[in-house]
Structure 1
Amino acid sequence: MKTLSAINALPYEHAAQAIEVYHRTILEGFRAFVHHNSALLLSTKIPAKRAVVVFGSDHGLCGGYNERLADELFKQLERHGPDAIPARVLCVGTRMKYALVARGILTEQTSLPPASADGIGRLAGILATQIEDITRQSGPDPIAVDLAFTERTAGSAQEPVLRRLLPLDSKMIADLVDQPWVSRSLPCFTMPASDLLAELVIGHLFSSLFRASAEAMVTENAARLALMQQAEQSIDDRLEELKAETRSVRQSEITTELLDIIAGFEALSKRRPRPAMASNYPTQR
């Protein structure tokens, strides 16, 4: 299982790196759009609906992977208070669904996690369609979408995160506005600005869902690998303890046997009659 987890994590890691390159291309498209249109106008309306996509594990032997993410999501939803917009939860993984239900978080739809790196695109497409359906149901009102998944941190650690997907991050847009276009040719496009913006948002949505799914699969296999290593180390430590205990018991048995031999020898020595001492005087006749 340890070797299998190490092998399985590598394709997902490559997929996460590849989608990062694609996402940077999408951001460059946003930069070109912002440069051509002076600024990207973001909606200031309060979102009428909220959706959360939770990426969990559907396999065992990975410790409290799902439980930690469910606890973090429960804390985040609890901070908004009872007057907050009810979140429509889209879940990835049946075990993740059970962990959420145990904390009072009902899921609207549950999808199966990808069985391989080739299935990440399929899952991202399904989730994008589900988000589009929720957006269509909200009508002209904006919708807030968050991604909840486990992310790698420095030092090979992991932590659950809740990241905003929609509306577009205002800080990200502000950074794009501040960055000058460093090129000998200015960006230009021929398609309508609204259509281009819609395509860029769709690309941003797909790449973010793809990356979150790939990152979740990497951390899941990493958690399983770490758990297997801990189990292996625990077994080795227990074996050493048993060997030490066996040596101690054997040494005690040897000591007991030697003491029994010495005690028996002393007991036999005390019972043996002493020989009569010869007299130095001559016998009278």
Structure 2
Amino acid sequence: MAHTLEQLGRQEQTLAGIGGIVRTMKALAAINASPYEQAAQSIQAWQQTVDLGLRAFAFRMRGQALRGSAAVQGRILIVFGSDHGFCGNYNALQARAVQQWRAQRPRAQEVVLCIGARLQRALAEHGIDVARRLTPPASADGIGRLAGQVVTQVQQLAQGRPLDALEVDLAYTRREPQHGSVAQVTQLLPLAPQLLQAPQRWPGPSLPDFRMEPAQLFSALVRSHIFARVFRASAEAMVTENAARLALMQQAEQLVQERLEQVRRDLAGVRQDAITDELMDIVIGHAGGAGS
């Protein structure tokens, strides 16, 4: 289908505008990923401190039960996704990973806590109902807010039961050096056995001690454990989301550039044809005038 000079000119302007938008989004995705990556690294030290606190508590409470109940009294699944688009199949892959994980683990229905409106829609397509939905952080400063909200939601869903008697799992996308990113589900509660394993000898120069009532202290440590793990999972999820958006924008930039080059070639050809037609009209007109 032949295009006129005016049509090709409009296409060129439109593609140039789209290219500018894509470059801006690409730059934003690259810039946004860095603070989330720093946040994921910064929480690591606090997470290690909480883990050490749990081991210190276990050391002082040797021989005493650390769990309020031997049986799981409730199940919660926390899934991290996105509120914004232009990140490819990021949410679809996460929803599929959750569906596969649930299929391999027959169990009583767990309560699903979803982070992100687009992820909620992706989960619904796989028949997974969401009990509550939270908003992902808009910046690295918002990760702490989200982690605090998740702790509050878990406490509310526990309905007065001990937190350490719940089974809580985290589903998020983490970075993988060889594969870019991988959707995974990890167990948050019950606490891993190594976290409650008291060492035979305390490594420090003095024995750990506490003054709080043991049940209150253990509950506070469990809440801190949830906060630290959710904080890190949220930061990892935001890093991979921006990485997915960056990859998509790079692909879009290449496609727009290729299309723009083609339109400019077509535009140059149409202009050349127009100039040739004008020259031919002049030559024919001049020859006709001379012949008369």
Contact 1:150 1:216 in 2 (8 A): yes
Which residue identity is paired with 1:227?
Answer: L
Equivalent residue, structure 2, for 1:87: 110
| 1:132 correspondence with 2:148 | no
The unaligned stretches of length 5 or more in structure 1 are 250-285
Aligned residue for 2:159, secondary structure, equals helix
Q: Which of 100-109 and 162-171 deviates more? A: 162-171
Instruction: State the alpha-carbon separation in 1 of the partners of residues 225 and 200 from structure 2.
Output: 19
Equivalent residue, structure 2, for 1:275: none
- 1:182-261 correspondence to structure 2 within 5 Å: 182-235=203-256
Deviation, 1:235, is: 4.6
Q: Which of 23-32 and 39-48 deviates more? A: 39-48
Equivalent residue, structure 2, for 1:258: none
Deviation, 1:9, is: 1.1
Contact 1:128 1:206 in 2 (8 A): yes
Aligned residues: 243
Contact 1:145 1:167 in 2 (8 A): yes
Instruction: State the alpha-carbon separation in 2 of the partners of residues 186 and 48 from structure 1.
Output: 34
Which residue identity is paired with 2:252?
Answer: A
Pick from 62, 65, 81 the counterpart of residue 38 of structure 1: 62
Instruction: State the alpha-carbon separation in 2 of the partners of residues 6 and 77 from structure 1.
Output: 33
Deviations 1:54-85 (A, max 9, x none): 1101111111000001001001111223xx21
Contact 1:70 1:96 in 2 (8 A): yes
Which residue identity is paired with 1:88?
Answer: V
Which residue identity is paired with 2:110?
Answer: A
Deviation, 1:233, is: 3.7
Instruction: State the alpha-carbon separation in 1 of the partners of residues 127 and 160 from structure 2.
Output: 25
Equivalent residue, structure 2, for 1:107: 130
Q: Which of 153-162 and 108-117 deviates more? A: 153-162
Percent identity over paired residues: 44
TM-score (norm 1): 0.77
Equivalent residue, structure 1, for 2:79: 54
Aligned residue for 1:161, secondary structure, equals strand
TM-score (norm 2): 0.75
Q: Which of 104-113 and 12-21 deviates more? A: 12-21
Instruction: State the alpha-carbon separation in 1 of the partners of residues 162 and 218 from structure 2.
Output: 19
Instruction: State the alpha-carbon separation in 2 of the partners of residues 107 and 214 from structure 1.
Output: 22
Which residue identity is paired with 1:73?
Answer: V
Aligned residue for 2:191, secondary structure, equals coil
Deviations 1:142-183 (A, max 9, x none): 321111111111236100111111111124434xx3585322
- 1:111-122 correspondence to structure 2 within 5 Å: 111-122=134-145
